[in-house]
Amino acid sequence: MISWFNTPPAQRALFSVFVSALLVLALCCFCSLLFGAGGLSLHASFQTLLGNGSADAQFTVFHLRATRTLVGLFVGLTLGIAGALMQAVARNPLAEPGLLGVSAGSSLAVAITLALGASTATLTVGVAQFGALLGCLCVLGVARMQSQQNDPIRLVLAGAALSSLLLAITSLLLLFDQRAADEIRFWVTGSVAGRDGSTLFSVLPSMLIAIACILYSAKPLASLALGERVAIGLGHKPQRIRGIVIVAVALLVGGATAIAGPVAFIGLVVPFAARALVGPDIRRTLWLCLPLGPIIVICADVISRLVAQPAEMPLGVLTAIIGAPVLLLIVRSRRMPTL
Amino acid sequence: MTATSLHSKTTSKQTLEIPKLARLSAKKLTLKHDKTSIIESLDVSLPEGKVTAIVGPNGCGKSTLLNGLSRVHSPSSGIVLLDGKDIHSLPSKEVARRLALLPQDTLAPDGITIEELIRFGRHPHQSMLKQWAMDDQQAINYALNAADLDGLKDRLLDTLSGGQRQRAWIAMSIAQETPLLLLDEPTSALDLGHQIEVFELIRHLSRQGKTLAMVVHDLPSACQYSDHIIAMKKGKIITQGSPKDVMTKELVRELYGVECDLIPDPMTGSPILINMKRIRS
């Protein structure tokens, strides 16, 4: 019988932090339904939630804002987890899908299919995920080339270069194709507003695959943090594990990008905060990323509605404002944390 | 679950039994880095229940041999046999239940505690369905005790002394409950006191019936803490045997280009090197 008092302190700490984070997340979701940039007052929003709203107000709260909250939930969940996984695979606290060109690869794949004649409505999530996979492989290929000495800064430089390259190609494509440009310009900024909630359903099957991949690989992935040879010594197969994790990352980032467009820095900030709260073990980090990702995205989204009223600031802008200082903080810290 | 099966389960796990001795050997083993062979057509086997020290100059292939024996490095030709079977044909998890490996320059993530590190040693005994069981906890307590880390299990690894840290890593491989343990330079980067601390733990494990092999740089320690010495140069085994038989002036000259005299340790009788001088060649 495993009782509360027998469980290791780290697990008890994780449990308390996890539950608190869930409560905070619930609060965030509530705020996300209440606050908005539109004409609906706080009081009216609250009344609507209680069931006394006008038809217009109900549409705003239960359709626009609820969809938006769900999308934020999904994007935070996937990008937070993807960031944590990527950092564990690259053994690099700066590995972040948005910075390393995974999102950019995903965007490019979408842009190409749009240019080839698809429309955003018929666009499959698979395309975005495939692009994300290619972006992942490119970046990790570069990371491998720099031999055993895994230099975090160099990985980020390589990622930034790849990202700019992919975005440049995307822009070039849009330049030639006006129709695709109109469709994609809105999408490429990265936002959870005005997204189609039904896309969420089309992503779900691939998310199940991602979850299976993560469940299978979490423990071996944790052992990779002790070094390649130790992991082999413990009976794991590092290459296979890395492959599975990269597939999971591609599915997650591709899914998020297909729905919300490229959103940077979430995959950096969320695992960073999770590690600060529950330590470096990837299994605990992943658990905490579950509530933490949505908290940060939904918070950022609520703030983005409030700071520039009546206009809205795109989410991608705000996450960059939060994320860039965190990036600098990690780089500036006296010793780069080892993963 | 019936009462009898419950009973048999609890009694069978009462004592921590180290499985029967496993035999590790290599036949015509060739190991290459890229295209250059480091070790060519080498035959070796580890004497059971003993401590084997692999010695030799830098770049002689000691660590490569250890990696080859522990299936980290795949052979270009030849075969590594674990209990008579090709180690690469056995499931990796199965190998990990018989053979533990402690590489050189281990690196743990920041903020990991000793117990968390040791828990990793249980991975080969776990599966998707069997995540954590009583025998895991028992093995961990046993490992903590054997490595003399009882009171330190919740301490962070990076707050420990070098010797304690190395003992924690060895404790991880103890928790793996393998009859074989291979260590790559377990005492490099440790000061004298911590070196002895680790060597004594290795001796202790050998007395418990484990077969150990370690790459060691320091000849006197190799003589004192091993039963069997394998001396290597340029990827070949020059000689092997008990320290007293193997260790001669000629061997030291051949391995390291060092002239010296050997005297027996007055307490243990193991050879000590004195009057060491580098010969210019």
Least confident of A40-44, A140-144, A196-200, B184-188: A140-144
Q: In the predicted model, what is the mean pLDDT of chain A?
A: 82
Per-residue tokens: B24: 């590790």
Does the pLDDT at position A103 exceed 80? yes
Average pLDDT value for residue range A16-39:
88
Please check whether residue A8 lies inside any domain of the structure. no
Q: Is there a contact between B93 and A8 if contact means CB atoms under 8 Å apart?
A: no
Please check whether residue A208 lies inside any domain of the structure. yes
Please check whether residue A184 lies inside any domain of the structure. yes
Query: Which strands, in side-by-side order, build the sheet including B77-82?
Result: B36-45, B24-33, B77-82, B85-86
Collect all residues of chain B within an 8 Å Cβ-Cβ radius of residue A237.
Answer: 92
Collect all residues of chain B within an 8 Å Cβ-Cβ radius of residue A225.
Answer: 108-109
Q: What is the CATH number of the domain that holds A165?
A: 1.10.3470.10
A 10 A CB-CB count for A193 gives 18
Does residue B9 come out as left (phi exceeding 0), alpha (psi in the -120 to 50 range) or beta?
A: alpha
Instruction: Compute CA distances A248 → A103, A288, A293, whole Å.
Output: 14, 18, 17
Please check whether residue A199 lies inside any domain of the structure. yes
More reliable by pLDDT, A93 or A237? A237
Report the alpha-carbon distance of residue B97 to residue B104 in Å, rounded: 20
> Residue A249's pLDDT is what?
92
Report the alpha-carbon distance of residue A160 to residue B267 in Å, rounded: 64
Please check whether residue A98 lies inside any domain of the structure. yes
The alpha-helical segments, DSSP class H, found in A177-281 are 178-188, 199-224, 228-233, 238-260, 266-278
Of B103, B102, B104, B80, the C-alpha closest to B22 is B80
Number of A/B CB contacts below 8 angstroms equals: 82
Find the closest chain B residue to A6 by CA distance.
Answer: B137
Q: Is there a contact between A234 and B120 if contact means CB atoms under 8 Å apart?
A: yes
Domain count for chain B: 1
Please check whether residue B9 lies inside any domain of the structure. no
More reliable by pLDDT, A247 or A6? A247
Find the closest chain A residue to B119 by CA distance.
Answer: A223
Domain count for chain A: 1
Q: Is there a contact between A279 and B112 if contact means CB atoms under 8 Å apart?
A: yes
Domain that holds residue A123: 69-332
User: Residue with structure tokens 């990837």?
Assistant: A282
Q: What is the CATH number of the domain that holds B236?
A: 3.40.50.300
Collect all residues of chain A within an 8 Å Cβ-Cβ radius of residue B100.
Answer: 233
The band of A8, judged by pLDDT with boundaries at 50, 70 and 90, is: low
> Which H, E and C letters describe chain B, residue by residue?
CCHHHHHHHHHHCCCCCCCCCCCEEEEEEEEEECCEEEEEEEEEECCCCCEEEEECCCCCCHHHHHHHHCCCCCCCEEEEEECCEECCCCCHHHHHCCEEEECCCCCCCCCCEHHHHHHHCCHHHCCCCCCCCHHHHHHHHHHHHHCCCHHHCCCEHHHCCHHHHHHHHHHHHHHCCCCEEEEECCCCCCCHHHHHHHHHHHHHHHHCCCEEEEECCCHHHHHHHCCEEEEEECCEEEEEECHHHHCCHHHHHHHHCEEEEEEECCCCCCEEEEEEEECCC
Report the alpha-carbon distance of residue A297 to residue A266 in Å, rounded: 7
Collect all residues of chain B within an 8 Å Cβ-Cβ radius of residue A9.
Answer: 154
> Residue B98's pLDDT is what?
94
Collect all residues of chain B within an 8 Å Cβ-Cβ radius of residue A226.
Answer: 106-109, 117, 120
Average pLDDT value for residue range A150-171:
80
Of B167, B119, B168, the C-alpha closest to A8 is B119
Does the pLDDT at position A178 exceed 80? no
Please check whether residue B149 lies inside any domain of the structure. yes
Collect all residues of chain A within an 8 Å Cβ-Cβ radius of residue B91.
Answer: 235
> Residue B14's pLDDT is what?
40
Pick out chain B residues at pLDDT < 50. Answer: 1-21
Report the alpha-carbon distance of residue A276 to residue A54 in Å, rounded: 45
CA dihedral A48, A52, A56, A60 (to 10 degrees): 10
Of A67, A68, A30, the C-alpha closest to A49 is A30
Please check whether residue B1 lies inside any domain of the structure. no
Does the pLDDT at position A219 exceed 80? yes
pLDDT tens by residue, A57-88? 888 888 888 888 999 999 999 999 999 999 88
> Residue A10's pLDDT is what?
67
Question: Which one of A223, A232, A239, A338 would you mutate to disrupt binding with B, by most B Cβ within 10 Å of its Cβ?
Answer: A232
DSSP 3-state percent helix, strand, coil across chain A (nearest 5): 75, 0, 25
Please check whether residue A48 lies inside any domain of the structure. no
Pairing of strands B77-82, B85-86: antiparallel
Report the alpha-carbon distance of residue B216 to residue B202 in Å, rounded: 12
Q: Is there a contact between A227 and B92 if contact means CB atoms under 8 Å apart?
A: no
Domain that holds residue B180: 18-278
Please check whether residue B240 lies inside any domain of the structure. yes
Please check whether residue B12 lies inside any domain of the structure. no
Find the closest chain A residue to B177 by CA distance.
Answer: A234
Q: Is there a contact between B120 and A280 if contact means CB atoms under 8 Å apart?
A: no
Average pLDDT value for residue range A177-201:
72
How high is the ipTM of this complex? 0.85
> Residue A338's pLDDT is what?
63
Report the alpha-carbon distance of residue A241 to residue A222 in Å, rounded: 10
Find the closest chain B residue to A337 by CA distance.
Answer: B110
Of A211, A212, A209, A232, the C-alpha closest to A220 is A232
Q: Is there a contact between A219 and B115 if contact means CB atoms under 8 Å apart?
A: no
Please check whether residue A280 lies inside any domain of the structure. yes
Please check whether residue A198 lies inside any domain of the structure. yes
Please check whether residue B160 lies inside any domain of the structure. yes
Q: Is there a contact between B113 and A216 if contact means CB atoms under 8 Å apart?
A: no
